[in-house]
C-alpha cells in the first residue's frame, strides 16, 4: 500500500493537471456511481489526507484510495494509457488532459460538506495542515500494549505511515516492531522521526531513508531480509506480522540493532 508521501505526490500531480479547469469528461466506472456526471463543472482542488485523495468539484468530492494496486496517471489528451483500460475505475478529462485512476481500492462520490464521513476518523496528517505532534503522540501512547509495528500502521493514530516507513522508523529508533507500544521509550521521538522522514521524502522521486541514494542502500531494513545490516552487519530478519489473521504484513528488522522489549523485561 502506498505511503503518505506517494499519495501526497499524486495529489500534487492531479492538482496541477485539473484544478481550475472545466471537466469535459467524467466517467466513473463503479456501478454505484456510474450515472454521476460532473462534466461542465470546474475542479476546485485535489488534496491528500493521509493515504486518501479528495478531488473537490463543485458541491461534490470524489474520494479515492489507492490501496495495494491503485494509481492515478495523467496523460495529454489522446495519449496511449500505460495500463489496460479495463483497470480504469475513473476517468476525468479536460480539454487538454486526462487523469485516470487505475485499480483504485476506493472510488466514491460524497457531498463536499460531508468529507468528514470518509476521512474524519484519521489522526493528524503527517504531511497535512492539521499536523499536530502532541495529538499524534497522545494517540500513540494510548495504544498501550499493542505492538508498536501495528500502532504505527493505524491511520487513526497518525495518517500517512505505510509498511515501508513503519519498518524504517522502528529500525532508526532501535525498536523491534513487535515491542508493546507502552515499552517504547520516548514515543514523541518516534512521532517526530515519522514527520521528518515523510517531509524529507515528499518531493523526492525515489524514497530514501538512509541518506544513500545508491540502489540497494536506500532503506535500512525494508526489503532486505537475509542481507547484512547496513549498520552492524547482522543479517536482517524478514517475517510476517499482524494482529489479525489474514492481514499480516511483512516486517524486517535487525535482531542486534533492534532488541525486543517485552512486558516481563
Catalytic positions: 2-3, 51, 249
CA gap 30, 42 in Å, rounded: 22
The residue to which cell 485499480 is assigned: 103
CA quadruple 29, 32, 33, 36: dihedral sign? positive
Q: Which residues pair with 253 in a beta bridge?
A: 237
Residue spans of beta strands (DSSP E) within the chain: 25-28, 43-49, 52-57, 60-65, 71-76, 88-93, 97-102, 106-111, 237-241, 249-253
- Give the phi and the psi of residue 93 in degrees, each rounded to 5: -125, 150
CA quadruple 158, 159, 163, 168: dihedral sign? negative
CA nearest neighbour of 118 among 56, 165, 202: 56
CB of 162 closer than 8 Å to CB of 2: yes
CA gap 196, 178 in Å, rounded: 23
CA gap 141, 226 in Å, rounded: 32
Q: Where are the alpha helices (DSSP H) in the chain?
A: 4-18, 116-119, 133-141, 148-151, 163-172, 187-201
Amino acid at each position: 500500500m502506498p505511503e503518505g508521501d506517494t499519495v501526497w505526490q499524486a495529489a500534487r500531480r492531479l492538482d496541477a493537471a485539473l484544478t481550475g479547469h472545466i471537466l469535459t469528461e467524467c466517467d466513473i466506472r463503479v456501478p454505484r456511481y456510474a450515472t454521476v456526471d460532473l462534466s461542465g463543472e470546474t475542479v476546485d482542488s485535489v488534496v491528500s489526507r493521509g493515504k486518501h485523495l479528495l478531488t473537490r468539484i463543485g458541491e461534490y468530492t470524489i474520494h479515492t484510495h489507492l490501496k495495494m494496486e491503485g494509481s492515478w496517471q495523467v496523460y495529454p489528451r489522446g495519449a496511449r494509457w500505460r495500463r489496460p483500460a479495463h483497470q480504469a475505475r475513473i476517468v476525468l478529462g479536460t480539454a487538454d488532459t486526462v487523469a485516470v485512476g487505475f485499480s483504485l481500492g476506493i472510488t466514491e462520490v460524497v457531498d463536499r460538506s460531508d468529507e468528514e464521513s470518509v476521512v474524519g476518523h484519521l489522526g493528524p496528517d503527517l504531511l497535512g495542515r492539521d499536523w499536530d505532534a502532541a495529538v499524534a503522540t497522545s494517540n500513540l501512547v494510548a495504544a498501550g500494549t499493542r505492538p508498536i509495528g501495528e500502532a504505527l500502521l493505524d491511520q487513526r493514530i497518525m495518517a500517512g505511515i505505510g509498511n515501508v516507513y513503519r519498518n524504517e522508523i522502528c529500525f532508526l529508533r532501535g525498536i523491534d516492531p513487535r515491542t508493546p507500544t507502552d515499552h517504547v521509550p520516548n514515543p514523541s521521538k518516534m512521532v517526530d522521526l515519522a514527520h521528518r522522514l515523510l517531509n524529507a521524502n515528499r518531493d523526492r522521486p525515489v524514497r530514501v531513508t538512509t541518506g544513500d541514494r545508491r540502489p540497494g542502500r536506500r532503506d535500512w531494513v525494508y526489503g532486505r531480509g537475509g542481507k547484512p545490516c547496513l549498520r552492524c552487519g547482522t543479517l536482517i530478519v524478514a517475517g510476517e506480522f499482524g494482529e489479525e489473521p489474514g492481514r499480516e504484513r511483512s516486517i524486517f528488522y535487525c535482531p542486534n540493532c533492534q532488541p525486543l522489549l517485552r512486558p516481563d523485561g
